Amino acid sequence: MEEIVKINDSIVQISELSDRIYVMKFGRNSILETLEEIEKIALKKKLSKIFLKIHEHDKKIFEKNGYIIEGLIENYFLDGSAYFMSKFFNESRKVPNFSKETKNVLNYVKSISKVSNIPINKKYGVRIANKNDSVNLAKHYSKVFETYPFPIDNPNYIRETIQSANVKYFIIEDSGKIIAASSCEMDNENKCVEMTDFAVLFENRKEGLSSYLLHIMEKVMSDNGFRVFYTISRSISHGMNITFKKRGYIYGGTAINNTNICGNLENMNFWYKVIQ
């Protein structure tokens, strides 16, 4: 069961699938009171991790309460950087799955150089999705991901997020069929955007479609005044880590056993790029 709730001025996802609480937005009012409420939920539901993104000015408060730094995005906020911090309630959760694979991917991408020219097959069409694409988008995501931390295989969820003021989906089509998709989750207040939900059909992989989507997303977001781009990617995915390294993103850390995706609880890498 996945549930999104508001606690004071914070937005919190309670996830049984990922056995965690993900604080999607941590408000800075009543920090200790909010933290206490979140931890009560985690203990009551016996969840083994709390994962959140906080302002650098609040880092010491969280460290005093047992949280550790797992990642960084420089200049995320208009007046400072963001830290991804976590608290573990189970010692086994601290032991990383796929640790060898994670290290191998990071070692490999160190050698990847920035690429500016991103070609695409001219027969493909690229556009921003609208609410009429909700059913086909949900079907597309269900083909690519066995499990995912958000219900992107649900047309109602897709429709609701499309109609919101902070999400845009991008799609690549071949004769009207969606073959690749992604989304931008926008923090309009701080002018930061998460590049996420990349999904390419198996038969269309190795065509550079994720790179092309990222190129288009960056252009659209830059034209709309966004100044920091980032992602949280599967640490064992050569393709996605290479995609972001090629576009000049900086590695910002790894969240251990963070997300249930593609049927497993996986480590997730942070990548970011500051353009302004």
pLDDT tens track for 148-206: 999 999 999 999 999 998 999 999 999 999 999 999 999 999 999 999 999 999 999 98
Instruction: Give the list of residues 6+ apart from residue 254 with CB closer than 8 angstroms, or none.
Output: 70, 71, 96, 102, 106, 235, 267, 268, 269, 270
For residues 150 and 247, membership in a common domain is answered with yes
pLDDT in tens, 1-29: 689 999 999 999 999 999 999 999 999 88
Of 94, 120, 138, the one marking the end of a domain is 94
**3-state secondary structure string across the chain:** CEEEEEECCEEEEEECCCCEEEEEECCCCCHHHHHHHHHHHHHHCCCCEEEEEEEHHHHHHHHHCCCEEEEEEEEEECCEEEEEEEEECCHHHHCCCCHHHHHHHHHHHCCCCCCCCCCCCCCCEEEECCHHHHHHHHHHHHHHCCCCCCCCCCHHHHHHHHHCCCEEEEEEEECCEEEEEEEEEEECCCCEEEEEEEEECHHHCCCCHHHHHHHHHHHHHHHCCCCEEEEEEECCCHHHHHHHHHCCCEEEEEEEEEEEECCEEEEEEEEEEECC
Domain count, the chain: 2
For residues 263 and 187, membership in a common domain is answered with yes
Phi, psi of 130 (to 5 degrees): -125, 180
For residues 114 and 18, membership in a common domain is answered with no
Of 62, 94, 126, the one marking the end of a domain is 94
The residue to which tokens 């083994």 are assigned:
48
Question: Which CATH number belongs to the domain containing residue 82 in this structure?
Answer: 3.40.630.30
The pLDDT value recorded for residue 118 is: 85
| Residue 226 belongs to domain spanning | 99-274
For residues 105 and 69, membership in a common domain is answered with no
Pairing relation of β-strands 49-55 and 20-25? parallel
For residues 33 and 150, membership in a common domain is answered with no
Of 60, 94, 128, the one marking the end of a domain is 94
Mean predicted lDDT score pLDDT of the chain: 95
Q: Please check whether residue 144 is in contact with residue 199, taking contact to mean a CB–CB distance below 8 angstroms.
A: yes
**Looking at 58-67, 108-117, 184-193, 250-259, which range is the least confident one?**
108-117
For residues 110 and 247, membership in a common domain is answered with yes
For residues 46 and 148, membership in a common domain is answered with no
For residues 41 and 159, membership in a common domain is answered with no
What is the arithmetic mean of pLDDT over 245-272? 96
For residues 107 and 218, membership in a common domain is answered with yes
The pLDDT value recorded for residue 1 is: 63
